[in-house]
Amino acid sequence: MLDDNLVIAFIPARGGSKGLPGKNLMKIAGKSMIERAVASATDWISGSKVDVTVVSSDDEAVLAEAKAAGAVTFKRSDFAASDEATAADVIRDYFGSPDVMIDLDGRDPWIVYLQPTSPARTGLHVEEAFNMIIPGVRSVVSVTTPEKSPYWTLNINERGQLTPLFPQAFESNRQSLQPAYIPNGAIYIFKLSDFTAAGAVPVTNAAAYIMSRDESVDIDTREDFERAKALLES
């Protein structure tokens, strides 16, 4: 069971996408990416444990949409809105700002990090991932299976020769290899103190919440968006 600490859903939504401009406001089945992300933090079967949902953006239209959806909004700094900023930079930008209106009151909140470009993620997914937090579990990361196994990856050495990254894979049959997973970006749950100590979103030793490839669709290009529309509007 969780302790009584604050639970904050944090949704990063930069306005300046290079691959698909304006993607966070694009709609699938009548709802924008931002609306879907906010809903996934609140629409839980057993009642959401999230105390407050925060949307960080540099785009006024995104912030207005987020506010209309019921989120607390935060205008991120110029650096946090730049191409160089990482997810960790965006989180630090919010929690290190004097403009933050949430009173932590000495508490170490759980952060539920939800990127808006995962439109197939639902409140049920977030609820199930959140329920994986038990004593001894400090973080949860959503994952999916890669389209191609990483075990068959090769390098080219300085002599131009192929060398396997995982030599044992070439000495075993496919069925004997352990399943491989990759983060799908949909859900990260962690303690703020663990993030602060690591300087990054904690992934190593996290509990794995497994999602299908269709549920893991991530919008970065027009092709991704059209695929998501086909999946979610069928």
Residues with Cβ < 8 Å from 150, sequence gap 6 or more? 165, 166, 180
DSSP summary character for residue 175: G
Name the residue type at position 125.
Answer: H
Token pair listed for 95: 């929690």
- Position 1 confidence tier, pLDDT thresholds 50, 70, 90: very low
Whether pLDDT at 3 is above 60 = no
Torsion, CA 109, CA 113, CA 116, CA 118, rounded to 10: -140
Whether pLDDT at 2 is above 60 = no
Q: What is the pLDDT of residue 126?
A: 98
The string of pLDDT tens digits covering residues 88-130 is 999 999 988 887 777 777 889 999 999 999 999 999 999 999 9
Whether pLDDT at 136 is above 60 = yes
Q: Write down all domains in the chain, each with its CATH number in brackets.
A: 7-142+181-232 (3.90.550.10), 146-180 (no CATH)
The string of pLDDT tens digits covering residues 45-69 is 999 999 999 999 999 999 999 999 9
Task: Name the helix (H) or strand (E) containing 185.
Answer: strand 182-191
pTM for this predicted structure: 0.90
Length of the chain: 234
Least confident of 78-87, 105-114, 163-172: 163-172
Query: Do residues 4 and 49 make contact, with C-beta atoms less than 8 angstroms apart?
Result: no
Least confident of 81-85, 101-105, 215-219, 229-233: 101-105
